[in-house]
Structure 1
Amino acid sequence: MSRQSRTRPEGSERSLHQAYDTALLDLDGVVYAGGRAIAHAVESLASARAGGMHLAYVTNNALRTPDAVAEHLGELGIPTEADEVITSAQAVARLIAEQVEPGSKVLVIGGEGLRVALGERGLVPVESADEEGLAAVVQGYGGPDLRWERFAEASYAINRGVPWYVSNTDLTIPSARGIAPGNGAAVEVVRIATGAEPQVAGKPLPPMHRETVLRTGAKRPLVVGDRLDTDIEGAYNGEVDSLLVLTGVTDAAQLVRAEPKYRPTYVDRDLRGLLTGQPEVERAEDGFRCGGWTAVVSGDVLELRGEGDDRLDAIDGLRALCAAAWTRAGDGSCDLDADKALARLGL
């Protein structure tokens, strides 16, 4: 994939699990939500693996260890080894280890995933800002029970000049009950208290991409995610292809209005998209056509035309809308009114 502005989702004659050697799968909102498997995820991943695709699970959530994530996936019916899980905790631990002395003390604001990752790099996790010789503060998602006093502890150390690192800055995280505050929201609390800026390791930034490539050895990877601002932007930054699934944070309206760095190579409802080819979005006389739908720009409105809506695939209509909107927007974000067109699709 090049960094040239994408103006439409791409097509693929081959199924994606055959066209790419490794799927770099986000977890929250892609494989599971709130601890439960998302519909079609288990069987789709099993089929992709059986078809020869290597599966790697790449998550910005630093709370759990790779062993714990692998165990959870196994309980859901997705057999997984710990070395197939890559977390932002691992990425931020490597980042810190490259900048401090071996055996340095690091104040941890977060969960067990951070502590284990630091230990693997020869660093010493500690709990107090008053530890002598403190070399860094690291902050990651600590779950809903992380106490407010932990943010204060981070602030005390950072205000004394201790370098600050964070696993990721996702503002939200999917849960079984809906969208909840993510680590990025907690990072903002500490930023307000300190005025400092952290070094960030997680998606979409290079440290996470580097960690993933080092651990998987992927030659032709496909990033699979539900977030434009982490998964898809991370693929854009790494110059690799991506598949957006609509099972998590991103909705159809956000996708249509995406600026270039947030535009995925492919889009599908869920992980069944790994097992199929992707239809071409073709230039029509007055717009873009995909699977019986035609999207056109009429003044400042994005319109969708299709006969027999109930027999057409709504995702094809979304692909056509993306092509019309992205072409019109160029290097910017589409400001056309797409509400009625999206309502026709029910997405």
Structure 2
Amino acid sequence: MLDGHDVVLLDLDGTVYRGGELVPSAAGSVQDVRGRGVKVRFVTNNAAKSPQAVADHLARLGLPTEPVEVSTSSQAGAAVLAENLPEGAKVLVVGTSALESEVDKVGLVPVREVGEEPVAVVQGHSPDTAWKNLAEACLAIRAGALWVACNEDVTLPTERGELPGNGAMVAALKAATGQSPTVAGKPERPLLDNAVVSAGGTRALMAGDRLDTDIAGAVRAGMTSLMVLTGVHTPADLLAAGPDKRPDHVAPDLSALHRPGAESVVAEQPEWKVRVDDTVLELASNSGKDDPLGALRTMCAVRWRHGSGAIAVRGADPHADSALRTLGLS
């Protein structure tokens, strides 16, 4: 799959690691990519941590990483600000010191209060964001300040479960101001574009577990995409995906990066046959081969030609029934 690509963009949570552990195939797959001379960039919507902190975390998990290999939405947000503001302009920061640092690095002046007359607001996740911080941002935005959000992820995955993410705080300011921000993180292009530029690449491959951020971002950026089934979204989500969220490849994990692309491409497989109408998709085996992922790629290829959205799925024989059970579709 790496043939023709000079940089691989990798989502983190759900793709490279889950909670406090690496996905089993991740370390070897990333090292193999590097060994092929293909650049790696870890792209994260989390604006709370610096590239150094992300690299240190990956190293502790068992995946040595250089900070330059990490691209964050805080960097992307700062880049958007720099493109639109003169050097030395004041920016009200709602977020962590990591976001504040990125604003400073691009020649802008981070501030925390509207009384300091900021001409822009940048908003990223911080567990310490309070009403006071949102109030300052609200006043600045109402006064005409440029508003950049590092991402609009409504929830944040944690070991305790899904908790409010930056998008939830952005939604509060949308309601209070009647305005909408420019978004820097996935699925918008700035984060992915900046990651490719930082690697000196031109032919990127994006790998991730989320259709709404990783895959949608790749579609918008015109990048080849790989969905891995190690994180949030499931075969059922994939089958229902609309045109703006459809990956080119689907695989169990990142080990697919080192296999021929034909093995994971979403296309009809000779071992399976699919019949679909407006309400039901029926899967049948042509060979008796045990290949649930081949069945999924075939179902997606056929389903996507006919439409999108949830659809009932059934098997036409025991082999098909087994594949559907493995995929969680029955």
TM over 0.5: yes
Q: Distance in 2 between matches of 1:102 and 1:225?
A: 35
Size of the aligned set, in residue pairs, is 322
Counterpart check, 1:88 vs 2:68: no
1:327 aligned to 260, 281, 305, which one? 305
> What is the match of residue 281 of structure 2?
302
Q: Is the 8 A contact 1:109 1:150 kept in 2?
A: yes
- Return the offset for 1:298: 4.8
Q: How much is the aligned-residue C-alpha RMSD, in angstroms?
A: 2.5
**Contact kept? 1:280, 1:290, Cα under 8 Å:** no
For residues 141-186 of structure 1, the C-alpha deviation after alignment (integer angstroms, 9 at most, x for no partner) is 114x433432233223222322211111122333334433322122
Q: 2:123 aligns with which of 126, 129, 139?
A: 139
Measured at CA, do residues 301 and 282 of structure 1 come closer, stay the same or move farther in structure 2, by a change above 3 Å?
farther
Is 1:263 matched with 2:246?
Answer: yes
Alpha-carbon offset, residue 291 of structure 1: 6.6
1:346 aligned residue: 327
Deviations 1:252-275 (A, max 9, x none): 111111111111110111111212
Report Cα offsets for 1:50-94 as digits up to 9, x if no partner.
233321111111111111111111112212111111111111111
Counterpart Cα distance in 2 of 1:188 and 1:317: 39
Q: Which residue of 2 aligns with 1:56?
A: 41
Kindly indicate whether the alpha-carbon contact (under 8 Å) linking 1:279 and 1:290 is maintained by their aligned counterparts in 2: no
Residue of structure 1 in register with 2:295 after alignment? 317
What does residue range 95-174 of structure 1 map to in structure 2 within 5 Å? 95-131=80-116, 133-143=117-127, 145-174=128-157
Cα drift, residue 40 of structure 1 = 1.9
Whole-Å separation in 2 of the counterparts to 1:137 and 1:160: 11
Larger mean Cα displacement after TM superposition, 295-304 or 248-257: 295-304
Contact 2:47–2:125, Cα closer than 8 Å, also in 1 = yes
Q: Which runs of 5+ in 1 are unaligned?
A: 1-15
Whole-angstrom distance in 1 between the partners of 2:200 and 2:7: 9
Q: Which residue in 1 is equivalent to 2:229?
A: 246
Whose relative contact order is higher, 1 or 2, with alpha carbons under 8 Å and at least 6 apart?
1
SS of residue matched to 1:29? coil
Shift of 1:127: 1.6
Distance change in 2, residues 1:206/1:279 (3 Å): closer
Q: For residues 92 and 135 of structure 1, what CA distance do their matches in structure 2 show?
A: 15
CA contact (8 A) 2:8 2:39 kept: yes
CA 1:17/1:114 → structure 2, altered by over 3 Å: closer, same or farther? same
Q: Confirm or deny: 8 A CA contact 2:206 2:226 kept in the other structure.
A: yes
Which amino acid is the alignment partner of residue 291 of structure 2? D
> C-alpha distance in 2, partners of 1:337/1:307?
21
For residue 223 of structure 1, report the CA deviation from its aligned partner: 0.6
Alpha-carbon distance in 2 for matches of 1:86, 1:281: 26
Q: State the one-letter code of the partner of 1:225.
A: G
Match of 2:318 in 1: none
SS for the counterpart of 1:161 is coil
**AA at the equivalent of 1:182:** G
Distance in 1 (alpha carbons) for counterparts of 2:42 and 2:218: 14
DSSP 3-state at the match of 2:119? strand
Contact 1:291 1:316 survives alignment (8 Å): no
- In structure 2, the CA distance between the partners of 1:52 and 1:210, relative to structure 1 (3 Å rule), is closer
Partner of 2:6: 21
Alignment check: 8 A CA contact 1:107 1:137 kept = yes
Q: Structure 1 residues 96, 117: closer, same or farther in 2, change over 3 A?
A: same
1:60–1:276 distance in 2 versus 1, CA, 3 Å: same
- Return the match for 1:71 from 56, 81, 100: 56
Structure-2 change in CA distance of 1:281 and 1:233 (3 Å): closer
Aligned with residue 274 of structure 1, among 235, 257, 264: 257
Query: How do residues 188-267 of structure 1 correspond to structure 2 at under 5 angstroms?
Result: 188-267=171-250
Distance 1:159 1:202 in 2: 23
Question: What are structure 2's unaligned runs of at least 5 residues?
Answer: 316-320
TM-score, normalised to structure 2, is 0.88
Shift of 1:137: 0.9
Q: 1:210 to 1:20 in 2, by over 3 A?
A: closer
Quick one: which amino acid aligns to residue 47 of structure 2?
A
User: What is the percentage of aligned positions where both structures have the same residue?
Assistant: 42
Q: Distance in 1 between matches of 2:287 and 2:165?
A: 41
**Contact 1:291 1:317 survives alignment (8 Å):** no
